[in-house]
Structure 1
Amino acid sequence: MIRDNFSKILREAMSEDSWLISEDQYDAKKNLQFESLFALSNGYMGIRGVQEEGNHPSLPYVYINGIFDKSETFMRELVTLPNWSELKFYVEKQLLSVERCEILEYRRALDLKTATLYKHVLLRDESGRESLIESVRFLSRENVHRMGMKVYFTPLNYDGILEIESSINGSILNFCDAPRFKVKHSVVTENSAKEDNIYLEVETRDDLLHIGTGASLHAYENGEEVLRNRRCSAFGEVALEFADCKVKEGKTVEILKYVSVFTEKDCERAAIRPSVFKELESFRDRGFTEEHRAHKKVYDTMWKRANVRIKGDFELDRAVRFNIFHLMSTASEYDDRVNVGAKLLSGEEYGGHAFWDTELFMLPFFSFVFPEKAKRLECYRYRLLDAARKNARKNGYQGAQYPWESADDGTEQCPDWTIEPDGSCYRCYVAKYEHHVTAAVMYGAYKYAETTGDTDFLYKEAAEIFVETARFWASRVLYNETLKLYEIREVTGPDEWHEPVNNNVYTNYLVKWCLRFVSSLITEMKDSREAEYRSLCEKLHFMEEEAETWKEISDKIYIPKKEGTKIFEQFEGYFDLYEVLIEKYDKNDWPIRPEILKTMSVTETQLIKQADVVMLMHLLGQEFDEETIRENYNYYEKRTLHGSSLSPSIYAIMGLKIGDSSKAYRYLRRAALLDLWNIQGNTREGIHAANTGGVWQTVVFGFAGLSLDENGELHLQPHMPKEWEELQFSIMHRGEATEITIKGDNSYTIRKREANEV
C-alpha cells in the first residue's frame, strides 16, 4: 500500500490507494511531469507540485485565476506569481534536499479525496546524519486565501541545530526554462515584514494590478514553540524569514508555514496588505489542523457529487478519478470573471487561455455535476459579449465573434506569429480561420440551459449571445450563385492540419444547426415569452427579418458529401488527397505516424489531427441516423492520428454508439492515462484540461449511455465493458442529486439522494 511508507500520523490521515497518485522514487528527469500531476488548486489559486526545498529542473509556478499580463510576449498570459512554497532546512550549513543528500527512502502522494500533497523522504547527508522529513500541503477550499504547509522533521541519529529558511520568491519568470521565451510579468513593489510575518507585494507590468503574499513560520515540539533567533529579511525580490531550533535524536519537530494571498481584484489596493495579515492571524488562530479539516469537509461534499466508481478495474477507476479531481478543483463557483484554461492552473502552456474546450469538453461535466460552476462559466462568456462584438467588427463582420483564445478581457489572444526554437517566425492563422469557437459558445449555452433547466438564463443572457453570434454567421457566409447555396470559405475546422479549407463540414453543419435553433427560439419567445422578447428586440435592435434570413441560410448551407454514400467530405477536396491509413500503434496504444509522412506533408494526405466530422456527430447525434454515424466513424477513425488530447474521448463515445465497444475501452484508457503515463510526452506543460472533461463524458455519455430527452427526462443505454463489474456516479438533475448504479450486465438503478446526503 502507498501509505505504508509514511509515518503513522500521516498514514492515518491519508486515503486508501484508490485515491492516491504516487511518486515512488526520485528521478530528476520526471520532475516537471510530477509537478503537473501534483498541482493543487482551490478555484482561486493554483500551484504546481514543486519540492519545498527546490530542485532542478523545476517550474515553480503559482497562478491566480484571472491574473494576466502581456509585457513583451505575443499575448496576455497567466502571470507566474511569487512562489510561497519555499521552505529549506540546513544542519551545519548542509542543505537537506533530494539533490544534495543520499536518498534512503522517498515517496510523494497526491490524495485526490482531500486535495492534499504528502511527502516522505529519508535523507543521509555528507556527514552521515539521517533526517526523516515528511510534509503536508494544501490550498484551503473553504477559505481560498489560505494555503498551508506542515513539515514533520525528525533527526534519526544526531542532535543539533536545525536552521530554517522560509521565503516568498518574487524572482520567478514565466518560461523560466526556455531562454528564448523568458519574461517577467511583475515587479516587486514592497518587501517587508510585520512582527513574525514576511510580506511581498508585486505589480503586473501592463495593468499595474497588485498582488500581496504573506507567510508566517512556526515550529513546535510537544506543543511548545521552539523557534529561536527569528529574523525577517528583504533580499531584493525575495522575502525571507530565518529561524533555528534545537533538535534531538528521535524527537519530531512540527514546522508550519501559514500563507495568505490577496489581489486588487479581491479588495482595494490599500487593503491588500492588511487583508493578508488579518487572514494570516485568523489562519493561525484556527490552526493548521482545523483549517485542513474544514478544507477536507468541502472536498468530501464535492466528491459526493463528482466521484465515479468503477468496480473491477482498479487502474482505470483511479485514473478517471484523477482527471475529475483536476477539473473540478480548478473551476470557480463564485467568480464569473474567470474561465478554465487549457492547462487548468497546472502549467503555462497556452497562457491559461480559454478555448472551445470549455464549452464542448468541460462544460457538460459542470452542467451535470456542479451547475453553479457551469453558470459562472456561461456568465464569463456573457460578460465578454461586448468584446466579441468588437472582435467581429475588427475582422469585418457583424454581430459577435468570440476569440479563439480568451483571457480576461475578451480580446483575441491567439498570436499572429509563432516563434520556432531556432528563432524563425511563421504566420499563425488559427485565429484568422478557426471560427467554430463562436458556434461552440452558442452550443454550450444551449446545452447548459437544456441540462440544468435554467430557462431564465436561456431567454435572457443566452438569447443575446444567440442573436449576436447568429449575426456573425450571417455575415460570415457567402452565397454561391452557381450552387444556389451558402458557403463558408477559408475556414479551419477541428482538424488543424488542413488550413484553411472551403466548406468544412463540422463548421458548416454546426452553423446550420445554430441558425435554425436561434430562429426557432426567437419564434418561441415571441409566442410565449413576450416580455423577454420585447427586451431582446429593444436591447439588440433586433428585426424579425433577421430571423428569416437565418432560417434561409440554415436551409441552404452547403454540406459536402461523397456521392452515393453517407460519408461526409470533411472539406471540399478532402477526398482528392492522398489516402493513408493508420495501421500501427505504440506500447501505449497510441497511433504511430505512418512512414510516408517522412517524405510527404500531412497536409497532402487524408490523415487528420483529431475528431472533426466525428466530433460533429457527437454534438448533433440526433441529426444523423445510425448508419450515417457508423459509416463516418469507420471512415475517419482509421485516418485520425489523435494529435490532440481532445480526440480519444470523442472516438470512444462514438464507437459505443455504433457498437464498437472494444475500441471504445481502448480509447478511454488512452484518455484517462494520458497525463499519468505522459503518453504525449508533454505533461510537464500542465494537465490536459479538455481531456479531463472528455474522460468524464466517455464514462457517463459513452459507457453509461446517459442522455436527456426533449422533456429533460433521464435516459440510460449502458454499454458496460467486460472489465467492469459495476459503475456508479452521481449527477444533479433538475436540482436533485441523482445516483446511478450500473451492473456488469447493463442493468441499472436510478436513485434520488436525500438532501442530507449531498
Structure 2
Amino acid sequence: MAGPWKLTYNKFDPEQEALRESLCTLGNGYFGTRGASLESAASKVHYPGMYIAGVYNTLSTDIASRTIANEDFVNCPNWLMLNYRVGDGPWFDRLKVKILSWKIELNMRKGIQSRRMRWQDYEGRITLIESHRLVSMAHPHCGAVRCTITPENYSGKITVRSGIDGMIMNAGVERYRQLRSKHLEPCSMGSFGEDGIFLQMITSQSKIQITEALRTVVYSGAEQLFPEMQVITHGRQRIIHEFSVEVQKGLRYSVEKLVSVYTSRDQGVADNSHIAQETVSQIKNFDVLFRSHQAKWKALWKRFDIEVEGDKFVQLALRLHIFHLLQSSSTYNEDIDAGMPVRGLHGEAYRGHIFWDELFVFPFYNLHAPEITRALLMYRYRRLGAAKEIARQHGFKGAMYPWQSASTGEETSQEIHLNPLSGVWGPDYSLLQRHVSLAVAYNVWTYYYSSGDRDFLDRYGAEMMLEIAHFWSSLAKFNSNTRRFDIEGVMGPDEFHEKYPAANAGGVKNNAYTNVLAVWVLEKALYILDDLLTEEDRQAILFKVAIDEKEIGRWRSIIEKMAIPIDKNGFIEQFEGYKDLKELDWEDYRRRYDNIHRIDRILKAEGQSPDSFKVAKQADVVMLFYILNQDELKAIFKRLGYPFSKKMIKKNFDYYFKRTSHGSTLSQVVHGFVSDLVGDQQLAMKTFKESLRSDIYDTQGGTTQEGIHAGVMGSSLDLFLRSFAGLSILEDRICLNPKIPKEWGSIKFHVRYKNIWFYIEIFQDELSVLAKPMKDISIAAQSKIPIVIKEKTYQLTAGVPHKVSSKLWFSF
C-alpha cells in the first residue's frame, strides 16, 4: 500500500489474488469489472467477473431429490481478455514463465488500475508489460484498457489476441458451485468497421440481451499501426482479434481495447447490439476516454472526499470505501432500475441480492449525492406491488418487503436448506427477518428528512410509508391479558436466533428492535397524514392504499400499547424469553477455537444450537441506539409507558457487547457508534478501525474475495462523521459536536443538507465551517443559516467562513 490515494501490491501472491481482484474492481454504477489480470481465466487463483446492475437470471438445480431455484447476479462476458506470445512460442502463461517483477496499483483519485510486469521466457527473452484500465465514470456504457508491450532484449514478432469471452459461468463463490451456473446463451456475434468485433449473449430465463462491442487499436509509440486482424471465433460464445506485429528491441507497442456495453434493459435502447457498436466507434482512443473519466472523478472527489491528517491507514481506508460505494451506485443509477447489491458490482456473494444493508449505505449518499439514494429508493417503489403481494400471501395487509430481493421484488430467500454433512433438508427461517421493511421505511424517511425532497415524498415515499405501516399494524396482535400489542414469528437483526429452543415454528415473540421500529414507522405514517398532507391529498392517498379511519385509529392505539420486553431496571430483553436462555462459556470457546465470529456454526457442529444460548451475531437491541437518537427513543418509550434514560443505553450496551460474536462486518460499526455514545472513546476508535480493516484485510476470512461489503463501507463513513465529527441532523439544521483523537491533526469534509453545502474543517484548536447554498437556490443576502456547534446555535452568513475555538469541545 502506498500513499493516501493508492492501493499497491508489489508481489504476486496467489492466495491473495482473489481478494485483490475484489478490491481493485472498477465500476461506475452501471457495470463493474473485477481487477483480474488481462491474461487470466477463471481458476483457483483468478476470477475475471463482469457485472451489470440489475441483470439477474434464475436457474433450477436438482439436489438431494429436490429442485431448488436460485436467482443469480449474472457474470457477463469478459471484455478484458487479452494475451500475447513472442515469436512462435506459447501464449503467455504465468506458470510457464519466470516473473521478474509484478506490481498492481489502484489509483482511486484517477479511477484507474495499473499493472507492471516483467517476465522472461524459456529462451531468455524479457518482456515488459504495462497496462492501464478504466471503467468510465463519464460515459457509463464504456470502458478501456491500454496494454503496452516492450521487448527489452530482443526483436522479432509478437502476436496478440484481444477478444470478448462469453464462455463463462457464475463460479465466484465456492459454496454455490454445486448449483447450475451457466446463465448465458449465444445470440449473435460479428465484426464491424476495420477494427471492431461484438458479442451478444442472452440470459437463459430472464431473456436479457447483453452486447459488448470492442475495438482493438494498435500503436508503435504515438504512431497508429494497422496490422491485419484475423477474427477467430470459438463456437458462438467467444470472438477474438488476432494480429502480429514485428517489434524492435526497446521500443514500446500499445494495444488499446475500447469497449461499449449495453443490454435490452437499458432505457431508450431499441437495439442494444447496434448502439454498442455505434458508441464504441465514436471513442477516438484511450486518452480521450481517460480525460473525461478523470475529470468526472475529480468532481466526485471534490464532493465526497474526507481528509484525515495524522493517520495514513484511516485516510486510505476511508477513501477506499468512498471509491467503492461510488462504483457500486453512482449518479447514473437515476436511469437504471436496480437496487444496491449487498456486495456491490464486485462479485457474486449473496447472489448480488438486495438486503437491508441499504440502511447502512444510504446516509452517506444522503449527505453527498441524494440523487443516488432517490434512484435506489425508486427500485423499492417499483416493487411495492410485489411487496403487497408477499404480504397478502402470508395473510397480512400492506407491503412486506422480502428479505432478499433481485429483479422482480419477490422473495428470493430459500425456504429450505440442505445440511451438507447430514444430507437432510431443513427449514430456512431467514426470510422471517421482516425488519427489512422497517429499513425501507427508515430509508425513505431519512432521505426526505435530510434532502427536503418533497416531490419524492408526495409521489412515492408517503405511499411506501403508509403501506409498510399497514403491514406492521396487521402483524401486531392485541393481547387481552397484557393489554398490549404483540408481534410474533419474526427474526431480529441478530440472525443467530431463528426460533425458540425445541420449537417447531420459526421466529420469536416481541423482538425489541422490531417492535420499537414498528412503532416508529407508524408514528411517521401518522405524522405524514396529520401534519404534511393537505386534506385533499390525505383523502386521495388513503383511497389509493385502501386504508380507512378505523385502521388509522388502530395505529394510534398501537403506538401507545406496543409490548417491549423491558424490566423495571431498564434492561431490554432482546425478545421475550431471551433471559431464560443459557449463558455461553465464551472464554472456553475462545480458548478452543482461533475464531469464534461464527459461533453459530461451531455450536451446530457440536450438535447444539445458538437458539439455546445468549449469543448474537451482531447488534440487535443495540441497533436501537444506532439508528434512533435519544430524544426519539425517549418519546417512544414514554408514550408506551416504559422508562428510558441514557443510563439504560450503557446498561444494555455493556450486557450485549459481551455476548456478541461480531460475525458480521456491520457489528463493529454499530457497537463503535454506541460505545462512543456511552463515553468509551477508546473502544469506539478500536471498533472503527476494525471496520476499516474488514475488507482491505478480509478479516472475515475469505468473504471479501466474493465482493466488497457495501454495508460496512457505508456505515464506517457514517460512523466517522457521526462519532468523530459529531455530525447529526435536526429538522432545520445540522449539528456538530466534534471529538477528534489527539493524534489526528485535522479532519476536513463536505456535506449537503437539503440544498446547502457545508464545508467543514476541524482542527485541534478550532473549527471552521462555510455554508454555500446550491446555485439554483435563491437566498437573500441578509439570510442566516443556523448551525449548532457543541449545543450552541450560530447563524452563518452564506459564503462567509465561521470559526469557533476548540475550547468548546475536547479531543481524546
TM-score range, shorter chain: over 0.9
**Distance (whole Å) between structure 1 residues aligned to residue 598 and residue 136 of structure 2:** 44
* Partner of residue 327 from structure 1, selected from 325, 328, 340: 325
Letter in structure 1 aligned against 2:727:
L
Cα displacement string for residues 393-415 of structure 1 (whole angstroms, at most 9, x for unaligned residues): 11111111111111121111112
Aligned counterpart in structure 1 of residue 4 of structure 2, from 6, 18, 30:
18
**Structure 1, residues 514-545: CA drift from partner, whole Å, max 9, x if none?**
1122123211145xx23422321232233222
Do the aligned partners of 1:336 and 1:379 also contact (CA within 8 Å) in 2?
no
Contact 2:172 2:706 in 1 (8 A): no
The match for 2:148 is 152
Q: One-letter code of the match for 2:75?
A: T
1:310-389 to 2 correspondences below 5 Å:
310-333=308-331, 334-335=334-335, 337-358=337-358, 360-389=359-388
Residues 97, 123 of structure 1: 8 Å contact kept: no
CA contact (8 A) 2:85 2:159 kept: yes
Match of 1:470 in 2: 469
The one-letter amino acid paired with 1:468 is: E
In structure 2, distance between residues paired with 1:651 and 1:176:
31
Partners of 1:385 and 1:521 lie apart in 2 by 19
Tell me what 2:615 maps to: 607
| Structure 1 position 556 matched with structure 2 position 561 | yes
Paired residue for 2:723? 702
* Aligned counterpart, 2:414: 415
1:390 aligns with 2:411: no
**Residue 473 (structure 1) shift:** 0.8
Q: CA deviation at 1:243?
A: 0.7
Q: Secondary structure at the match of 2:732?
A: coil
Name the CA distance, whole Å, in 2 between partners of 1:533 and 1:226.
68
Calculate percent identity across the aligned residue pairs: 31
- C-alpha distance in structure 2 between counterparts of 1:325 and 1:281, whole Å: 29
AA partner of residue 282 (structure 2): S
| Distance apart, 1:59 and its partner CA | 2.0
Contact 1:115 1:296 in 2 (8 A): yes
Structure 1: which amino acid aligns with 2:48? P
Q: CA deviation at 1:430?
A: 3.7
The C-alpha deviation readout for 1:476-505, integer Å capped at 9, x for no partner, is 112212111111112100011001211110
Which deviates more from structure 2 when the two are superposed, residues 571-580 or residues 551-560? Answer: 571-580
CA distance in 1, matches of 2:598, 2:345: 31
Matched, 1:54 2:61: no
Task: Check conservation: 1:115, 1:138, Cα contact below 8 A.
Answer: yes
Deviation at 1:431, TM superposition (A): 4.8
Residue-by-residue CA offset, 1:675-712 (whole Å, 9 max, x unaligned)? 11111111111101101111111101121111112x32
Contact between 1:342 and 1:352, CA under 8 Å: does it hold in 2? yes
Correspondence 1:198-217 to 2 at 5 A:
198-217=197-216
Backbone CA RMSD of aligned residues: 2.2
Match of 1:66 among 54, 65, 68: 54
Q: CA 1:425/1:256 → structure 2, altered by over 3 Å: closer, same or farther?
A: farther
CA contact (8 A) 1:581 1:638 kept: no
SS at 2:255 equivalent: strand
Verify: 1:570 aligned to 2:574, yes or no: yes
SS in 1 for 2:471: helix
Q: Supply the distance in 1 between the matched residues of 2:71 and 2:774 (Cα, whole angstroms).
A: 43
| Deviation readout 1:378-399 (Å, 9 max, x if unpaired) | 2221111111111111111111
The 3 A distance-change label for structure 1 pair 206 and 594 is closer
Corresponding residue of 2:680: 660
Shift of 1:425: 5.4
Measure the CA separation in 2 of the matches of 1:129 and 1:194: 36
> Is the Cα–Cα contact under 8 Å of residues 120 and 134 in structure 1 kept in the other structure?
yes
Which residue does the alignment assign to 1:233? 232
C-alpha change, 1:594 and 1:254, in structure 2 (3 Å) is closer
Alignment partner for residue 80 of structure 2, among 75, 80, 85? 85
What residue in structure 2 maps to residue 271 of structure 1? 271
Deviations 1:97-156 (A, max 9, x none): 433321111110111112111101111111111111010000111111111000111111
- Displacement after TM superposition at 1:645 (Å): 1.2
Distance 1:326 1:177, change over 3 A: closer
Residue 223 of structure 1: how far off its partner (Å) = 2.5
**2:757 maps to 1:737:** yes
Q: Distance in 2 between matches of 1:269 and 1:458?
A: 30
Q: CA 1:352/1:316 → structure 2, altered by over 3 Å: closer, same or farther?
A: same
8 Å CA contact 1:518–1:547 kept in 2: the answer is: no
Per-residue displacement from partner, 1:22-50 (whole Å, max 9, x unpaired)?
12210111121111111111110011111
User: Can you list the C-alpha shifts for 1:609-655, whole angstroms capped at 9, x where unaligned?
Assistant: 00111111111223143212111111111111111111111111111
State the AA in 2 paired with 1:407. Answer: A
Secondary structure of the 1:387 match is: helix
1:601 Cα offset (Å): 3.5
Question: Is 1:113 aligned with 2:109?
Answer: yes
How far does residue 582 in structure 1 lie from its aligned partner after superposition?
Answer: 5.0
User: Number of residues paired by the alignment?
Assistant: 733
Distance 1:635 1:494 in 2: 17
CA contact (8 A) 1:23 1:108 kept: yes
Q: Does 1:126 align with 2:115?
A: no
3-state SS of the aligned residue for 1:162?
Answer: strand
Alignment match, 2:661: 641
Gaps of 5+ in 2: 62-68, 499-506, 635-644, 776-798, 800-812
The 10-residue stretch of structure 1 (656-665 or 326-335) with the greater mean CA deviation from structure 2: 326-335
C-alpha contact 2:755 2:774 (8 A) present in aligned 1:
no
| Aligned mates of 1:687, 1:342 — CA distance in 2 | 8
Query: Bigger shift: 450-459 or 481-490?
Result: 450-459
CA distance in 2, matches of 1:486, 1:268: 49
Task: Kindly indicate whether the alpha-carbon contact (under 8 Å) linking 2:401 and 2:436 is maintained by their aligned counterparts in 1.
Answer: yes
Residue 426 of structure 1 deviates from its aligned partner by 3.7
Are residues 208 and 268 of structure 1, via their aligned partners in 2, closer, same or farther at CA, if it must alter by over 3 Å? Answer: farther
Note the alpha carbon deviations across 1:241-267, whole angstroms, 9 max, x for none.
101101111101111011111111226
Pairing 1:748–2:734 present:
no
Matches of 1:176 and 1:352 in 2, distance apart? Answer: 11
Distance 1:305 1:564 in 2: 48
Which structure 1 residue ranges, 5 or more long, are not aligned?
Answer: 3-16
Establish whether residue 502 from structure 1 lines up as the match of residue 497 from structure 2: no
Mean alpha-carbon deviation: is it higher for 222-231 or for 630-639? Answer: 222-231
3-state secondary structure, aligned to 1:369: coil
Partner of 2:531: 524
Matched AA of 2:523? R
Taking the TM superposition and a 5 Å limit, the aligned residue runs for 1:287-326 are 287-326=285-324
Report if the CA contact (8 A) 1:310-1:316 is conserved: yes
Shift in alpha-carbon separation, 1:445–1:755, aligned structure 2, 3 A: closer
Is this contact kept in 1: 2:494–2:616, CA < 8 A? yes
1:42 aligned residue (28, 31, 52): 28
Aligned to 1:12: none
Q: Partners in 1 of 2:597 and 2:616 — Cα distance?
A: 13
The separation in 2 between residues aligned to 1:496 and 1:253, in whole angstroms, is: 55
- Give 1:422 deviation, angstroms: 5.4
TM-score normalised by length of structure 2: 0.87
Please identify, of 52-61 and 163-172, the stretch whose mean Cα deviation from structure 2 is larger. 52-61
Q: Which residue is 2:453 aligned to? A: 454
Output the amino acid matched with 1:64.
Answer: I
Structure 2 CA distance for aligned equivalents of residues 513 and 384 of structure 1: 23
8 A Cα contact 2:146 2:257, kept in partner: yes
Q: In structure 2, what is the Cα distance between the partners aligned to 1:53 and 1:420? A: 38
For residues 546-574 of structure 1, the C-alpha deviation after alignment (integer angstroms, 9 at most, x for no partner) is 2110111121111001x332120001111
Summarize the Cα distance change of 1:147–1:428 in structure 2 as closer, same or farther, 3 Å threshold. Answer: farther
* Larger mean Cα displacement after TM superposition, 375-384 or 503-512: 375-384
Aligned equivalent of 1:252: 252
